[in-house]
A and B are shown apart, each in its own frame.
Chain A
Amino acid sequence: MEALSLNLRLLTLSGIVEPTSVSGSLWKKSLFSMYMTTSIIVFIPILLGELTAFYHFWGDLVVITNNMFTLVGNVTFYGEALYIIARKKDFLKLVEKLQDMIDHMPRAGAKCDLIAKQTAKRSKSLTLSMLFIVYMVPFSWSISPLVSMLLAVDEDIPEHDTQLEDEVEEFWKSLISIMWLPLDATQSPAREFIYMGQAFVFLITASYYTSVNTVFVALIVQTTGQFEILLATINHMDDAVRSQDLLPFEKTEDLTNTVLMDVSEGKVMRWMHQHDDPTDLRPYFVAVIRHHQMIIAFAKQLNDLLSPLLFLYFFSAQVMMCVMAFQMVLTWEEQNNFLKFCFGLLCVLVGPFFFCSQGDVLIQKSFEVQQAVYGCKWYYRSERFKRTMLQVITRSQRPVSLTAGKLYIVSMESFAKMLNTVYYYFAVLKQLHEK
Chain B
Amino acid sequence: MYKFRLHGLVADMWPLIRIMQMTGFFLLDYHEDMSFGWTSIRAGYAGSISGLMVIQFALIFINLMKQSDDVNDLTANTITVLFFVHSLVKFFYFALRRGKFYRTLATWNNANSHPLFSENHSRHHATAVGSMRRLVMYVGIGIIISGFAWTIITFVGDSVHEIPDPENANETIFEEVPRLMLRSWYPWNALSGGGYVVSFVIQILWLFLALSHAMMMDTMFCCWLIYTCQQLVHLKEIMKPLMELSASLDTLVPHSAELFRAVSATTNNPITSGDGDGIRAIYSNQHDFSNFRLNTGALANINSGSVGPNGLTKKQEVLVRSAIKYWVERHKHVVRFVSNIGDTYGSALLLHMLISTVTLTLLAYQATKIEAANVYACTVIGYLVYTLAQVFLFCFFGNRLIEESSSVMEAAYSCQWYDGSEEAKTFIQIVCQQCQKAMSISGAKFFTVSLDLFASVLGAVVTYFMVLVQLN
Where the two chains meet, the residues of A that have a C-beta atom closer than 8 Å to any C-beta of B are 253-254, 256-257, 259-262, 272-273, 275, 360, 370-371, 374-375, 377-380, 383, 386-387, 389-390, 393-394, 397, 412, 416
Contacts and interface: CB of A to CB of B under 8 A. Distances in A.
B127 interface: no
Contacts of B295: 256
Nearest to B300: A254
A416 B335 contact: no
Contacts of A377: 325
Interface in B297-337: 299-303, 308-309, 314-315, 318-319, 321-322, 324-325, 328, 332, 335
Interface stretch (B160-168, B253-261, B377-385, B420-428): B420-428
B438 to A, nearest CB: 13
B456 interface: no
A121 to B, nearest CB: 23
A379 B325 contact: yes
B429 interface: yes
Interface in B72-128: 112, 114-116
Contacts of A275: 308-309
Contacts of B437: 397
A374 B303 CA distance: 29
**Overall SS of chain A's interface:** helix
B433 A393 contact: yes
A385 to B, nearest CB: 10
B325 A262 contact: yes
B318 A389 contact: no
Nearest to B325: A379
Contacts of A360: 445
A374 B432 CA distance: 12
A377 B314 CA distance: 20
B300 A375 contact: no
Interface of B: 112, 114-116, 295, 299-303, 308-309, 314-315, 318-319, 321-322, 324-325, 328, 332, 335, 422-423, 426-427, 429-430, 433-434, 436-437, 445-446
A378 B423 CA distance: 11
17 contacts: A256-B300, A256-B315, A260-B116, A261-B322, A262-B322, A273-B318, A275-B308, A360-B445, A370-B434, A374-B332, A375-B332, A378-B328, A380-B325, A386-B430, A390-B426, A390-B430, A416-B446
A374 to B, nearest CB: 5
A394 B434 CA distance: 8
B322 A374 contact: no
A379 B426 CA distance: 9
A383 B302 CA distance: 21
A326 B295 CA distance: 83
Given A260-B319, A262-B112, A379-B325, 20 more contacts: A253-B302, A254-B301, A256-B295, A256-B300, A257-B300, A259-B115, A260-B318, A260-B322, A272-B321, A273-B302, A273-B314, A374-B434, A378-B328, A378-B430, A379-B321, A383-B426, A393-B430, A393-B433, A397-B437, A412-B446
Contacts, number: 75
A388 to B, nearest CB: 11
A389 B429 CA distance: 11
Contacts of A380: 321, 325
Nearest to B425: A383
A371 B309 CA distance: 29
**Overall SS of chain B's interface:** helix
Nearest to A255: B300
B434 A273 contact: no
A257 B115 CA distance: 12
Contacts of A375: 332
Contact of B436 (A378, A379, A397, A412): A397
Nearest to A256: B295
Given A260-B318, A261-B318, A375-B332, A273 B430 contact: no
Contacts of B422: 383
B444 to A, nearest CB: 9
Nearest to A412: B445
A261 B323 CA distance: 9
A428 B303 CA distance: 79
A399 to B, nearest CB: 11
Contacts of B433: 390, 393-394, 397
Contacts of A416: 446
Nearest to A378: B430
B84 to A, nearest CB: 28
B300 A389 contact: no
Given A273-B302, A383-B426, A386-B430, A257 B318 contact: yes
A377 B324 CA distance: 11
A393 B434 contact: yes
Contacts of B315: 254, 256-257
Nearest to B295: A256
Contact of A379 (B112, B328, B446): B328
A254 to B, nearest CB: 3
A394 B318 CA distance: 28
Contact of B324 (A261, A371, A379): A379
A360 B116 CA distance: 43
B432 to A, nearest CB: 10
A256 B319 CA distance: 11
Contacts of B115: 259-260
A379 B302 CA distance: 19
Nearest to A377: B325
Contacts of B318: 257, 260-261, 272-273
B303 A379 contact: no
In this complex, which of B309, B315, B318, B335 has the most chain A Cβ atoms within 10 angstroms of its Cβ? B318
B320 to A, nearest CB: 10
A394 B319 CA distance: 28
A389 B430 contact: yes
A254 B302 contact: yes
B120 to A, nearest CB: 16
A257 B318 CA distance: 8
B409 to A, nearest CB: 13
B329 to A, nearest CB: 9
A371 B338 CA distance: 13
Nearest to A364: B445
